[in-house]
Amino acid sequence: MIESLVSDKQLVDLKHLLDEAQKIVLTCHVSPDGDAMGALTAFLSVLKRQNKDVCAITPNIFPDFLKWLPGADEVQVYEKNEEQLDPVLKAADLFVCLDFNGPSRMSMMEAAVQANPAPKIVIDHHPNPEDFASCLISFPQMSSTCELLYRVIVALYGEDFLGYDEAVCLYTGMMTDTGAFTYNSSRSDIYYIIGKLLEKGIDKDKIYRNVFYEYSAERFRLMGYVLYVKMEMLHEYHSVILSLDREEQKRFSHKKGDTEGFVNIPLQIKGNKLSIFLRENTEQDNIRVSLRSVDDFPCNQMAAEFFNGGGHLNAAGGTLECTLDEAIELAKKAVRKYAHLLK
Ligand SMILES: [Mn+2]
């Protein structure tokens, strides 16, 4: 048996909140990734099988490459349907917040959720959770929220209760948050859990293809363009800056999710320690910043200091309200400031 991590007290609180609730809303962070969607769909399925009245709502749309997830078709998108979903948020008597550590991560949905004083269960692996949970299950050492949720579900309902669809969802989150187990995935527990999920009959190779072999040709043309034309090497600092403006994204028929993973590519360059990707947001008037690093370079610290963001040690993000050229200058300034950790 795997250690559940969740304390007896937490488990009692969790059970009590779930038992008492009549109308549960599950939610996750804005711009959901595989871990957020995997956790959302897995827990949706589990609670439905517990005969709960439960609704899963994302703040905005999730990428096409996650639409195949079992239960994804039942997930509501707040941004697309505010009038119909506001009453659902208002009527909820329990929220379960998955894969985020502070209310602002719900973005356009924050106000509506926070207006409801109903208790919140937070199940998450981001460091430094804010004080907004009635029941906080936060373990930053976890590879993913899905890994943690596996332990929570098993602690609540037992290993046998977990079904095939839920195993697919949980594996997807663990796989995507670790770059298919290439980073943040060196604990043996992870592979014990994968073993258990495989016993449920999941096809991990098919899941890999569902997520990573589903891109459009335009994405690869855009990737080629970014790497050939828009990659700036800061050799002295073992860092790389990638950037994309709105016009360039339009030129390559950019769809949400198309630039997913670009920021990781420069880390494959020999000796490189840090990769920064600056992209003009196609939905809002700001710039999305993504940071990735290897070893112990603190992306989250740099993101908090320079880019109004945060995250994990090796993967963090933020936003900037300025021009792309200004953002590039700021990124260079950030790299110079952290030179002692990069040289
Ligand atoms: Mn996550």
Single residue among 148, 177, 212 that ends a domain in this structure: 212
Share of the chain above pLDDT 90, in %: 92
Q: What spacing in Å lies between the alpha carbon of 36 and ligand 1's midpoint?
A: 6
Instruction: Strands of the chain (E only): list them.
Output: 24-28, 54-58, 76-77, 94-98, 120-124, 135-138, 231-234, 239-244, 274-280, 287-293, 310-311, 315-320
Q: How far is the CA of 35 from the centre of ligand 1 (A)?
A: 5
Q: If you measure from the C-alpha of residue 326 to the centroid of ligand 1, how many angstroms do you get, rounded to a whole number?
A: 30
Residue-wise pLDDT tens digits, 324-342: 999 999 999 999 999 999 9
Residue 232 DSSP label? E
Judge whether residue 258 has pLDDT over 90: no
pTM > 0.85: yes
Q: What pLDDT, on a 0 to 100 scale, did the predictor assign at position 241?
A: 98
**Containing domain of residue 271, as a range?**
217-341
Domains held by the chain: number? 2
Q: How far is the CA of 228 from the centre of ligand 1 (A)?
A: 30
Q: Is the Cβ–Cβ distance between 42 and 169 less than 8 Å?
A: yes
Q: What's the pLDDT score for residue 283?
A: 83
- Centre of ligand 1 to C-alpha 236, Å, is 32
In a domain, residue 1? The reply is no
Task: Tell me how far the alpha carbon of residue 235 lies from the centroid of ligand 1, in angstroms.
Answer: 31
Q: How far apart are the CA of 105 and the centre of ligand 1, in A?
A: 12
Q: What is the whole-number distance in angstroms between the Cα of residue 303 and the centre of ligand 1?
A: 17
Which tens digit of pLDDT belongs to each residue from 223-254?
999 999 999 999 999 999 999 999 999 999 99
Whether 2 has a pLDDT exceeding 80, the answer reads: no
Rounded CA gap, 104 and 102, in Å? 6
- Judge whether residue 256 has pLDDT over 90: no
pLDDT tens for residues 263-317?
999 999 999 999 999 999 998 899 999 999 999 999 999 999 999 999 989 999 9
Q: How far apart are CA 38 and CA 129, in angstroms?
A: 20
pLDDT confidence band for 96 (50 / 70 / 90): very high
In this model, does residue 1 exceed pLDDT 80?
no
For residues 257 and 201, membership in a common domain is answered with: no
Rank 165-169, 210-214, 260-264 by mean pLDDT and report only the highest.
165-169
Give the residues across from 93 on adjacent strands. Answer: none
Neighbours of 169 (CB within 10 A): 32
Which residue, among 71, 106, 68, 100, has the nearest Cα to 85 in the 3D structure?
A: 106
- 289 occurs within a structural domain: yes
Q: What is the CATH number of the domain that holds 84?
A: 3.90.1640.10
